[in-house]
Amino acid sequence: MRKGLTKKQRFLNACNRLPVDKTPVWIMRQAGRFMSAYRKKRQAHSFIEMCKEPEIAAEVTLLPVQRLDVDAAIIFADILLPLEGMGVGFGFTTHDGPVIHNPIRTANQVNKLIIPQPEESLGYVLTAIKLVKQELGSDTPLIGFSGAPFTLASYLIEGGHSQNYLLTKTMMLNATDTWHALMDKLSKIVLLYLGSQIKAGADVVQLFDSWAGCLSPSDYEKYVMPYNRTILSGLKKYKVPVINFATNNAGLLELMSKSGGDVIGVDWRISLDKAWKQIGYNKAIQGNLDPAVLFASPSEIKKHVKSILKMAGRHNGHIFNLGHGVLPTTPEPNVKALVDFVHELSEK
C-alpha cells in the first residue's frame, strides 16, 4: 500500500506491479464523441483537422483528465495516421469511419510503400504530445499509442473496416512473401513511431492490435506474433511501460504475453481472474468492463466495477479500463461515475 500517490506514480506503479493507493483507471477512446465538449469542438473541425492541429489535439486530450478525473491522458490521434507518410491516401466518412483510397493488395504496391521518419511525417502528433506534457506537468501520465502491424495491414488490404478480414487472410495464407514484406515494413514504422512518441514525452505507450482477435492462435503465432515481438522488444531500451492490447483475445492471451509488453490489455469476453492466470502474474493486466455496462444504472455499474476489482484480488498490477473503446452514445455522467466507483471501491 502506498498513500498519497500522484496519478503518475499510481499509474506507473500499476504498470510495474508495485503497490498503489487505489486502482488507476483510464478509458479507451476517453476523448471522443460521448463527451459534449468534444462534440462541440467537432462541429467546427473535421476529425482529421482535429488530429493534425496540435493545439486542438492537445485540448481534446486533456478533456477527460479535467472532466472525468481519469488517472492518465492518451494522446488524441488515429491509428491510421502513419499510413499517409507511407504514401497511402485515406479519409473518413461522415461518422469517422476510415476509408483507404487505394488498398494495398499486390507485391508491387508493398514494395512502393515508404518507411518515413515520424519526426517528418507525424510531427504534428509529437508536437501535440509536447503541448499536453506542458499542461499535465509531473502529476498525470500521458499515454502514446500506435496500431499494431496486423491491424494496420488489415485496414490497408481491406480498404476499411471488415466483417471477416477475408482479403487480409487470403494474402496472409496465399501470398505469404507479400504478407511478410508488408508486416516487416509496418513493424519498422510502428517501432519508430512509438519511440518518437516516448522521446517527445509519452510516459507509457500502448500497442493496439484491435483486430488480431479474428485470427486462430496458430495463425497469430506464425504470421503476427514475430512482428509484435520485434516492436515490443525494441521498445525496452526506452524504459517506459508498454501495454499490449487486442480485442477478442481470450484465445491469444498466452501468446500475447510471450510477445512482450509490461501490461496485457484484455476485453470482456473472459473474466479478469482467468485472463490473468493465462497471462501470468509476472505481467500487469488492463481491463476489462464491457462498454455496454455504461448504459446501465449507476448501481449496476458499481456492481460490475466491484466484481472486476474482486477478481483482481490482492495482486499488484491492475489498471482498470473497458474491454474496448467507450461507445459514442454513452451517457457522460455514467463514465464519470465509473471512474469515481473505481477509485472509491479500490482505495486502500
The reply to whether 219 belongs to the active site is no
Q: Helix-strand-coil percent breakdown of the chain, rounded to 5? A: 55, 10, 35
Please state, in angstroms and rounded to a whole number, the distance separating the CA atoms of residues 165 and 155: 9
- The crossing angle, in degrees rounded to 10, of helices 176-200 and 225-234 is 20
Contact 241, 263 (CB under 8 A): yes
> Of these residues, 17, 71, 155, 209, which one is catalytic?
155
> Of these residues, 33, 67, 229, 269, which one is catalytic?
33
The reply to whether 17 belongs to the active site is no
> Of these residues, 10, 17, 21, 29, which one is catalytic?
29
The reply to whether 155 belongs to the active site is yes
Q: What is the DSSP letter of 294?
A: G
Please state, in angstroms and rounded to a whole number, the distance separating the CA atoms of residues 130 and 200: 6
Contact 45, 55 (CB under 8 A): no
Please state, in angstroms and rounded to a whole number, the distance separating the CA atoms of residues 309 and 305: 6
Q: What is the largest CA-CA distance in the chain?
A: 58
- Calculate Rg over the CA atoms of the chain: 19
Burial 49-58 (b: 16+ CB within 10 A, else e): ebbbbbebbb
Query: SS3 letters for 220-283?
Result: HHHHCHHHHHHHHHHHHHHCCCEEEEECCCCCCHHHHHHHCCCEEECCCCCCHHHHHHHHCCCC
Nearest to 323 by CA among 299, 294, 345: 294
Task: Respond yes or no on whether the N-terminal peptide bond of residue 288 is cis (omega within 30° of 0).
Answer: yes
Count CB-CB contacts under 10 A for residue 174: 9
The residues, any chain, with a CB within 8 Å of residue 234's CB and separated by 6 or more, are: 191, 195
The reply to whether 269 belongs to the active site is no
Please state, in angstroms and rounded to a whole number, the distance separating the CA atoms of residues 109 and 185: 12
Element (H, E) at 209: strand 204-209
Residues serving a catalytic function are 29, 33, 42, 78, 155
